[in-house]
C-alpha cells in the first residue's frame, strides 16, 4: 500500500489534474490511496464565503459564484461532453452547500466554517475521480468522513484513533486505486470537522498509519524539503534525507512544507515519508526516515510572518510565576492561539503567537484586566536549526531584533 497526497498547488487547474494522471502513470497506482486537497486557493475563497455569510450577506452570492466559476472552468477544460455526469455531481455538491447556508441556524462560527469549507475537497475529489475514470484509471471515490472520526473541536479537530482505525479496517478496500479528501473528518454526530489548515498531509499519515502503508508521498511544487522556504530565502538547498525527529522539529517551528501533525504517526510505525516534486516525479526528492539526522548537515532557516509578540508584566510588580503563567496559558488555549516562543523573567513574560483564528482583540482585553500588556503585531519569527555564527549574522542583518533565544540546536529571533 502506498499513500499519495496532492495539495492545492498540484491541482490548481486542468493541467494540474492532467499532470496528476502523469504522475500516477509513472509511479504506478495499484494498491494506492490518493488524498487530495481543494483545488488551488479554493479554501481561501470559501473562507471569504464564510466571512460574508456572517458579516456581509450582500456579498455572499457573488463570493460563492466565484468558487463555482473557478471549478466550472476546470470542468469545461477536462470534460468535452457537458452531459457528463460529473457536471451534475458538482452541481449537486454546490446545491447542498447553498441549502446548508439557507437553512443553518447555528451561530457558531467554527461549526459553520467546517460545514462549508469541506466542499472544496468534496468538489476537487469528485472532479479528479471522474477524470481518472475517463482516462482509464478506474478508482474508488471515498467520503473520508466515513473513515476519519474526530471530536467536535471544529477547525482543529482531534482524531479519535480507535474509531478511525476500526472504520478503516472494516471498510477500506486495498488492492484498488482509492481517492479521498484531505483535511476533513466527522464527529460522532456525523457533522463535518477539519484537521486545521493545510491538514491534508496529516490525512495521508492517518491512513498510512491505520493501513500499515509502505510509504507516504506528498507531491509538492518544490523539489523536496529544502533548508529554507525558497519564497523567502535565495539559494535554498535540497535535503536528501532527514530523520523523523529533525523533520518534526522543522515542521513544528513552521517549515510549512510538511504539516506538523503528519510525522508522529509515521514515525511510530517507521513508515517513510517522501516529499517530491509533482513536476519531476522521477527525481528522488527528500526522504524522511528513521536513520540519519540531516543529510546534508546544514543550517535550516524557517520564517513565520505576521506573528504577534505580546509582553506582559504584573500591574503591581509582583513576580510572574506559576499561577500567573497557568492563567496566561489557559487564555491562550481558550482563544486558540498557537504559541511559538515564550520568554520570562521575574516580572515579565513574553510570548510570540500565531493569531490563526483572529481572536487577538478578545485575548488582549482579557489579559489587560490582569496585566500591563504591550503588543507588537506583524512581527516575523525566524528560527535556525543547527545554527552557526555565519547563519546568525546573515539572518540578523538589517533587522530589528525584539526577542532572541538560543538553545543548543535552535536559535530563534522575533524581528520587526
Annotated binding-site residue numbers for substrate = 121
Which entry of ligand ADP, Mg ion, ligand ASP, none binds 19, CB below 5 to 8 A by partner kind? Answer: none
CA dihedral 362, 364, 367, 372 (to 10 degrees): -160
Q: For residue 38, state whether it binds ligand ASP (rule: CB under 6 A).
A: yes
Which entry of Mg ion, ligand ADP, ligand ASP, none binds 247, CB below 5 to 8 A by partner kind? Answer: none
Secondary structure element (H or E) that encloses residue 304, with its range: strand 300-314
CA angle 237, 8, 56 (to 5 degrees): 125
For residues 148 and 180, what is the distance between their CA atoms, to the nearest angstrom?
11
Cell numbers for 59, please give them.
456579498
Q: What is residue 110's three-state secondary structure?
A: helix
Total number of residues that touch ligand ASP (CB under 6 A): 12
**Nearest distance in Å: CB 327, ligand ADP:** 34
Q: For residue 7, state whether it binds Mg ion (rule: CB under 5 A).
A: yes
Q: Which stretch binds Mg ion (CB under 5 A): 102-110, 139-147, 197-205, 393-401?
A: 197-205
Q: What is residue 205's three-state secondary structure?
A: helix
Q: For residue 199, state whether it binds ligand ASP (rule: CB under 6 A).
A: yes
Q: For residue 182, state whether it binds ligand ASP (rule: CB under 6 A).
A: yes
Q: Which of 22, 167 has the CB closer to ligand ADP?
A: 22
Q: In what order do the strands lie in the sheet with 410-415?
A: 338-344, 348-354, 300-314, 371-385, 410-415, 401-406
**Nearest distance in Å: CB 360, Mg ion:** 24
Ramachandran area for residue 398 (φ above 0: left; ψ -120 to 50: alpha; else beta)? left
For residue 335, how many C-alpha atoms fall within 13 Å in the half-sphere facing its CB?
20
**Nearest distance in Å: CB 46, ligand ASP:** 9
Q: For residue 43, state whether it binds ligand ASP (rule: CB under 6 A).
A: yes
**Nearest distance in Å: CB 200, ligand ASP:** 3
**Nearest distance in Å: CB 332, ligand ADP:** 25
Q: What are residue 36's phi and psi, to 5 degrees?
A: -125, 140
Check the CA dihedral 380-288-35-11 and report its sign: positive
Q: Which of 104, 256 has the CB closer to ligand ADP?
A: 256
Ramachandran area for residue 155 (φ above 0: left; ψ -120 to 50: alpha; else beta)? left
Helix residue ranges, H only, 11-59: 14-27, 42-55
Q: For residue 8, state whether it binds ligand ASP (rule: CB under 6 A).
A: yes
Q: Which of 198, 340 has the CB closer to Mg ion?
A: 198
Q: Which stretch binds ligand ASP (CB under 6 A): 171-179, 191-199, 268-276, 305-313?
A: 191-199
Out of 1, 3, 4, 7, the only residue in the binding site for ligand ASP (CB under 6 A) is 7
Out of 198, 246, 249, 340, the only residue in the binding site for ligand ASP (CB under 6 A) is 198
Which entry of ligand ASP, ligand ADP, Mg ion, none binds 231, CB below 5 to 8 A by partner kind? Answer: ligand ADP
Q: For residue 200, state whether it binds ligand ASP (rule: CB under 6 A).
A: yes
Which entry of Mg ion, ligand ASP, ligand ADP, none binds 255, CB below 5 to 8 A by partner kind? Answer: ligand ADP
Which entry of ligand ASP, Mg ion, ligand ADP, none binds 226, CB below 5 to 8 A by partner kind? Answer: ligand ADP
Q: Residues annotated in the binding site, as ranges? A: 121, 231
**Nearest distance in Å: CB 7, ligand ADP:** 2
For residues 67 and 228, what is the distance between their CA atoms, to the nearest angstrom?
32
Tell which residue, 157, 201, 207, has the closest CA to residue 182: 201
First and final CA of the chain: distance in angstroms? 47
The binding track of 124-163 with respect to ligand ASP, each residue x by CB under 6 A or -, is: ----------------------------------------
Q: What are residue 244's phi and psi, to 5 degrees?
A: -55, -45
Q: Residues annotated in the binding site for ATP, as ranges? A: 231
Q: Which of 7, 223 has the CB closer to Mg ion?
A: 7
Residue 54 to residues 65, 69, 108, 381: CA-CA distances in angstroms?
17, 22, 10, 32
**Nearest distance in Å: CB 223, Mg ion:** 17
Positions touching ligand ASP (CB under 6 A) are 7-8, 37-38, 43, 120, 182-183, 197-200
Amino acid at each position: 500500500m502506498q499513500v499519495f497526497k496532492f495539495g492545492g498547488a498540484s491541482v490548481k487547474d486542468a493541467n494540474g489534474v492532467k499532470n496528476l494522471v502523469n504522475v500516477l502513470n509513472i509511479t504506478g497506482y495499484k494498491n494506492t490511496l490518493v488524498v487530495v486537497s481543494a483545488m488551488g486557493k479554493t479554501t481561501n475563497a470559501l473562507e471569504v464565503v464564510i466571512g460574508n455569510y456572517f458579516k456581509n450577506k450582500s456579498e455572499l452570492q457573488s463570493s460563492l459564484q466565484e468558487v463555482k466559476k473557478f471549478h466550472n472552468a476546470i470542468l469545461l477544460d477536462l470534460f468535452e461532453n457537458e452531459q457528463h455526469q460529473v457536471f451534475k455531481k458538482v452541481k449537486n455538491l454546490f446545491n447542498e452547500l447553498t441549502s446548508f447556508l439557507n437553512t443553518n441556524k447555528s451561530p457558531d462560527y467554527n461549526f459553520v466554517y467546517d460545514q462549508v469549507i469541506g466542499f472544496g475537497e468534496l468538489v476537487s475529489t469528485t472532479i479528479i475521480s471522474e477524470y481518472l475514470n475517463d482516462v482509464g484509471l478506474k478508482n474508488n471515490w471515498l467520503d473520508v468522513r466515513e473513515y476519519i472520526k474526530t471530536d467536535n473541536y471544529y477547525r482543529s479537530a482531534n482524531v479519535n484513533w480507535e474509531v478511525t482505525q476500526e472504520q478503516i479496517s472494516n471498510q477500506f478496500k486495498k488492492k484498488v486505486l482509492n481517492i479521498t479528501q484531505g483535511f476533513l473528518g466527522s464527529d460522532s454526530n456525523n457533522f463535518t470537522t477539519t484537521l486545521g489548515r493545510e491538514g491534508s498531509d496529516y490525512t495521508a499519515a492517518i491512513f498510512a498509519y491505520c493501513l500499515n502503508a509502505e510509504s507516504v508521498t506528498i507531491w509538492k511544487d518544490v523539489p523536496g524539503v529544502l533548508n529554507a522556504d525558497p519564497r523567502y530565502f535565495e539559494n535554498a538547498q535540497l535535503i536528501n534525507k532527514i530523520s523523523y525527529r529533525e523533520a518534526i522539529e522543522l515542521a513544528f517551528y513552521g517549515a510549512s512544507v510538511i504539516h506538523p501533525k503528519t510525522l508522529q504517526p509515521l514515525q511510530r510505525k517507521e513508515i517513510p515519508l517522501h516529499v517530491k516534486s509533482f513536476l519531476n516525479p522521477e527525481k528522488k526528492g527528500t526522504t524522511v526516515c528513521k536513520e540519519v539526522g540531516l543529510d546534508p548537515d546544514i543550517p535550516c532557516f524557517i520564517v513565520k510572518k505576521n506573528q504577534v509578540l505580546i509582553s506582559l508584566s504584573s500591574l503591581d510588580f509582583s513576580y510572574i510565576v506559576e499561577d500567573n503563567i497557568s492563567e496566561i496559558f489557559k487564555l491562550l488555549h481558550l482563544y486558540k492561539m498557537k504559541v511559538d516562543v515564550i520568554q520570562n523573567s521575574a516580572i515579565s513574560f513574553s510570548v510570540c503567537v500565531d493569531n490563526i483564528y483572529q481572536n487577538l482583540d478578545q485575548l488582549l482585553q482579557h489579559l489587560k484586566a490582569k496585566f500591563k500588556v504591550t503588543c507588537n503585531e506583524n512581527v516575523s519569527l525566524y528560527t535556525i536549526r543547527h545554527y552557526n555564527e555565519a547563519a546568525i549574522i546573515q539572518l540578523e542583518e538589517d533587522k530589528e531584533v525584539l526577542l532572541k533565544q538560543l538553545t543548543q540546536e535552535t536559535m530563534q529571533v522575533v524581528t520587526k
